[in-house]
Amino acid sequence: MLRPIPDIIREARQDLRCLSAEDAFAEQSLNQGLIIDVREPAEVTEQPAPNSINIPRGVLEMTLSNSHPDPAQTLYIHCASGARATLAAEQLRRLGYRDVTVITCAIENVRKEQGSA
């Protein structure tokens, strides 16, 4: 029997740091962390988040470990709803990144906080 995705997301978030877009961007402005959008390129074209680096979920681990190999790098991960961001953050922690935060809100809130909505 397959496990429901909402259950998996809920369980993963118990071990991850999660913030709203407002709190994440306020914090990021102080620590200069990297904001990563794990949506697909077509989604980003439709609703861009200009202060984010787009690295689609499917290539995140390989791309990020090559471009930002420091395990202490502060990372803020977002997507359209927070679900893919949660799964992505979980994988990044498994790779060894120690300072990973999930932005758990909808893309509209992310865009609003970035001043692009």
Q: List, for residues 101-112, the tens digit of each pLDDT value.
A: 999 999 999 999
Q: pLDDT for 52-99, tens place per residue?
A: 999 999 999 999 999 999 999 999 999 999 999 999 999 999 999 999
Q: Would you say residue 117 has pLDDT above 80?
A: no
What CA–CA distance (Å, rounded) separates 92 from 56? 13
Q: Which domains does the chain have, with CATH numbers?
A: 16-113 (3.40.250.10)
Kindly report the pTM of this predicted structure.
0.94
Q: Which two tokens stand for residue 111?
A: 């865009």
Structure-token match 């471009």, residue found: 67
* Contacts for 104 with CB less than 8 Å, ≥ 6 apart: 13, 18, 19, 20, 82, 85, 86
Q: Specify the pLDDT at position 114.
A: 85
Structure-token match 């609003």, residue found: 112
* Contacts for 76 with CB less than 8 Å, ≥ 6 apart: 19, 24, 28, 33, 34, 35, 36, 101, 103
Q: Specify the pLDDT at position 115.
A: 80
Q: Would you say residue 116 has pLDDT above 80?
A: no
Q: Specify the pLDDT at position 109.
A: 93
Q: At what angle do helices 5-13 and 83-95 cross, to 10 degrees?
A: 50
